[in-house]
Chains A and B, each alone.
Chain A
Amino acid sequence: MEQRGTRIALGVWVGLVLLFLYVPIVVICLYAFNKSNVQSWPISGWTTHWFGSAIHNGDMQQALWLSLKAAALATVAAIALGSAAAFGVHRFRFFGREAVSFLLVLPIALPGIITGMALNSYFTFWKLNFGLLTIVIGHATFCVVVVYNNVLARLRRVPGSLAEASMDLGADGWQTFRFVTLPSISTALVSGGLLAFALSFDEVIVTTFTAGAQNTLPIWIFGQIRLGQQLPQVNVVVFLILAVTIIPVALAQRLTSESGILRTE
């Protein structure tokens, strides 16, 4: 359909954009092997020594563990609340259903620093101890909308007649949900959940205000950047995370065909 020339021009553009996207990431991976702890271009010497020291770094392990726990819990909360909201908005027309979308998108549209400082003083007011719980609440605020949008978009595509047919055939509400509705939205939940996990796992700004003395992985990374002594350890960790996540990200993509950002479905 597009002319050959246009296609080639577009292809070149795509190549350039990928270069733009990946040069910094290649730089991160290269400096994981940097001999010097102070980073400068070009790299003066190579070593794999940082891999050992990063993996055995107890602070890093704890931060990673906390980040995994927080992201998992925030994702679970987002799936529960986000899909409930999506079902509610999808099934029932009511005054203000637009307002629900607006409400849920707010935490991602308003600057994180505002969410952060608001929650920080609010938690202090309620005398809630800063820790895993406060981190999860902070992350859940902006994760809910990711699941909500994914599920809502999927529900709009699944014909309502399927559920009706199920009920007509004698299934009760639960059975219909379990055997008809859930399978039809499951991939939307997977891709929404994965993106919610990613957003939580890498969040810095809200976490700065809600983590208290605990270090999540990004906060640990910021500490390392401040210190400027063990920077290649950060590169090693990022390198390893990329190596591990490329598989689930590719898998999730295979489950689904199209995408928005809040809606990878």
Chain B
Amino acid sequence: MAAGLDAAQGLSPARRARRRVGGALFRRPWLKGLALLAPPVGAFGFFYIAALVVLFVSAFWTVDAFTGELVHRWTFDNFRTLWQESAYRTVALRTVWVAAAVTVTDAVIAFPFAYYMARVAKPRVRAALFVLVLLPLWASYLARIYSWRLILDHDGLLNWSAQKLGLPAPGIEYTNTAMWVVFSYIWLPFMILPVYASLERIPQSYLEASRDLGARGFRTLRRVVLPLALPGVVAGSIFTFSLTLGDYITPTLIGGTSSQFIGNVVYDAVNQSSNLPFGAAFAVVPVVVMGAYLLVARRLGAFEAL
């Protein structure tokens, strides 16, 4: 029938064929959905998920110390070592602790900034701020970390400026405090942008309604703005938290004598000791932490705000 109609309309055969396929897909939307989702989901399954599964299966294997070959025998040895040696616990706790501190810091820095962008700044200023927040992402991450070294060094810009101003020198070079500062710096744009997006979406009428009902500025902020901005903050925190959790370069360049992260231990296990299974076993820690984090984040509506 449809074909007859096409022919009656005098369409070319190619176009008729296209139309028939389109019609078939239109009548069976699940088919079209499947056709659209199959490539991305398939590619992810084949390249990413399969690789992850293989990695975590290898956590239950060991490595022959002399030849560096994998020994495919099931064992919990790697996990036992991780559990029994207090050093690894210290490293895991330090990593999570710094990641949490960085996340809170970035949220505190980003919120007023994003608020200004979204609700105070004029469009032109807002556009300029937007570019200024995005631009650092184009200045090499490594170069920016290295630049912090020059700032934090004993004779660096920070201590030098403090001295010129007659202040005591902070002297935080090569410490965990330095790492906290640099991580907060590096990931700040990843917090500002989602918070801004969620603030920008709050209808002006909500704020007016709150004021009309007699709420003062602070109360409106606490009862109306913050709850509505929460998904944005949580979305930003996924980045700041996970990016800090998995880093090993900042601890290497900026950290001091007790600054190892999970990433450093994993990197050394894989690249120094050729012990992939041990690295994989330790990598389970950030995966579990992030998995729990994502589940909570989804409940808070952060996925919509990413």
Query: A230 on the interface (CB 8 Å rule)?
Result: no
Query: B112 on the interface (CB 8 Å rule)?
Result: yes
Query: A182 on the interface (CB 8 Å rule)?
Result: no
Give 1 or 0 for each of B40-81: 1 = CB within 8 Å of chain A CB.
Answer: 110110011111101100100000000000000000000000
Chain B 171-216 residues near chain A, CB threshold 8 A: 185, 188-190, 193-194, 196-198, 200-201, 207
Give the distance in Å from the alpha carbon of A159 to the alpha carbon of B194 in the complex. Answer: 24
Decide: A102 and B249 in contact? CB cutoff 8 A.
Answer: no
Assuming the contacts A84-B40, A253-B131, asked whether A25 and B147 have C-beta atoms less than 8 A apart, the reply is yes
| In the complex, chain A residues whose CB is within 8 Å of the CB of B160 | 41-42
Q: Which of B37, B50, B119 contacts A2 (CB 8 A)?
A: B119
| In the complex, chain B residues whose CB is within 8 Å of the CB of A249 | 131, 134-135, 138
| In the complex, chain A residues whose CB is within 8 Å of the CB of B207 | 1
Q: How far is the CB of B84 from chain A (nearest CB, A)?
A: 23
Assuming the contacts A13-B113, A14-B113, A260-B305, asked whether A81 and B143 have C-beta atoms less than 8 A apart, the reply is no
Decide: A102 and B298 in contact? CB cutoff 8 A.
Answer: yes
Decide: B283 and A113 in contact? CB cutoff 8 A.
Answer: yes
Give the distance in Å from the alpha carbon of A235 to the alpha carbon of B147 in the complex. Answer: 9
Q: How far is the CB of B91 from chain A (nearest CB, A)?
A: 14
Give the distance in Å from the alpha carbon of A3 to the alpha carbon of B253 in the complex. Answer: 44
Decide: B140 and A241 in contact? CB cutoff 8 A.
Answer: yes
Decide: A137 and B47 in contact? CB cutoff 8 A.
Answer: yes
Which bucket holds chain A's interface residue count? 35 or more
Assuming the contacts A13-B112, A13-B116, A117-B270, asked whether A100 and B37 have C-beta atoms less than 8 A apart, the reply is yes
Query: A227 on the interface (CB 8 Å rule)?
Result: no
Stretch in A45-53, A54-62, A86-94 with 4+ CB within 8 Å of B: A86-94
Query: A229 on the interface (CB 8 Å rule)?
Result: no
Decide: B276 and A117 in contact? CB cutoff 8 A.
Answer: yes
Chain B 107-165 residues near chain A, CB threshold 8 A: 109, 112-113, 115-117, 119-120, 127, 129-144, 146-148, 150-151, 153, 155-157, 160
| In the complex, chain A residues whose CB is within 8 Å of the CB of B136 | 21-22, 25
Q: How far is the CB of B264 from chain A (nearest CB, A)?
A: 9
Decide: B143 and A253 in contact? CB cutoff 8 A.
Answer: no
| In the complex, chain A residues whose CB is within 8 Å of the CB of B168 | none
| In the complex, chain A residues whose CB is within 8 Å of the CB of B25 | 173
Query: A27 on the interface (CB 8 Å rule)?
Result: yes
Q: How far is the CB of B143 from chain A (nearest CB, A)?
A: 5
| In the complex, chain B residues whose CB is within 8 Å of the CB of A24 | 144, 147-148, 151, 185
Query: A103 on the interface (CB 8 Å rule)?
Result: yes
Query: B22 on the interface (CB 8 Å rule)?
Result: yes
Give the distance in Å from the alpha carbon of A12 to the alpha carbon of B62 in the complex. Answer: 56
Decide: A103 and B131 in contact? CB cutoff 8 A.
Answer: no
Tell which of A21, A41, A114, A149 has the most Cβ of chain B within 10 Å: A114
Assuming the contacts A28-B139, A172-B19, asked whether A118 and B130 have C-beta atoms less than 8 A apart, the reply is no
Decide: A40 and B150 in contact? CB cutoff 8 A.
Answer: yes
Give 1 or 0 for each of A214-257: 1 = CB within 8 Å of chain B CB.
Answer: 00011001100100000100110110011001100110011000
Query: A186 on the interface (CB 8 Å rule)?
Result: no
Query: B255 on the interface (CB 8 Å rule)?
Result: no
Decide: B116 and A10 in contact? CB cutoff 8 A.
Answer: yes
Q: Which of A91, A100, A110 contacts B242 (CB 8 A)?
A: A110
Give the distance in Å from the alpha carbon of A31 to the alpha carbon of B140 in the complex. Answer: 14
| In the complex, chain A residues whose CB is within 8 Å of the CB of B280 | 117
Give the distance in Å from the alpha carbon of A148 to the alpha carbon of B43 in the complex. Answer: 14
Query: B83 on the interface (CB 8 Å rule)?
Result: no
Give the distance in Å from the alpha carbon of A252 to the alpha carbon of B52 in the complex. Answer: 35
Give 1 or 0 for each of A95-110: 1 = CB within 8 Å of chain B CB.
Answer: 0001011111111111
Give 1 or 0 for each of A21-36: 1 = CB within 8 Å of chain B CB.
Answer: 1111101100100000
Q: How far is the CB of A196 from chain B (nearest CB, A)?
A: 12
| In the complex, chain A residues whose CB is within 8 Å of the CB of B29 | 91-92
| In the complex, chain B residues whose CB is within 8 Å of the CB of A242 | 135, 138-139
Give 1 or 0 for each of B273-305: 1 = CB within 8 Å of chain A CB.
Answer: 000100110010011001001100010000101
Decide: B18 and A7 in contact? CB cutoff 8 A.
Answer: no
| In the complex, chain A residues whose CB is within 8 Å of the CB of B137 | 195, 198-199, 202
Q: Which 6 A-B pairs give the minimum distances between C-beta atoms?
A: A111-B246, A173-B22, A92-B33, A88-B36, A122-B51, A88-B37
Chain B residues in the interface with A (C-beta under 8 A): 15, 18-19, 21-22, 25-26, 29-30, 32-34, 36-37, 39-41, 43-44, 47-52, 54-55, 58, 109, 112-113, 115-117, 119-120, 127, 129-144, 146-148, 150-151, 153, 155-157, 160, 185, 188-190, 193-194, 196-198, 200-201, 207, 217, 232, 235-236, 238-239, 242, 245-249, 253, 262-263, 266-267, 270, 276, 279-280, 283, 286-287, 290, 293-294, 298, 303, 305-306
Other CB < 8 Å A-B pairs besides A28-B139, A98-B298, A102-B303, 14 of them?
A: A13-B116, A14-B129, A25-B147, A104-B44, A105-B238, A108-B242, A117-B270, A121-B54, A137-B47, A202-B137, A202-B141, A234-B143, A235-B143, A260-B232
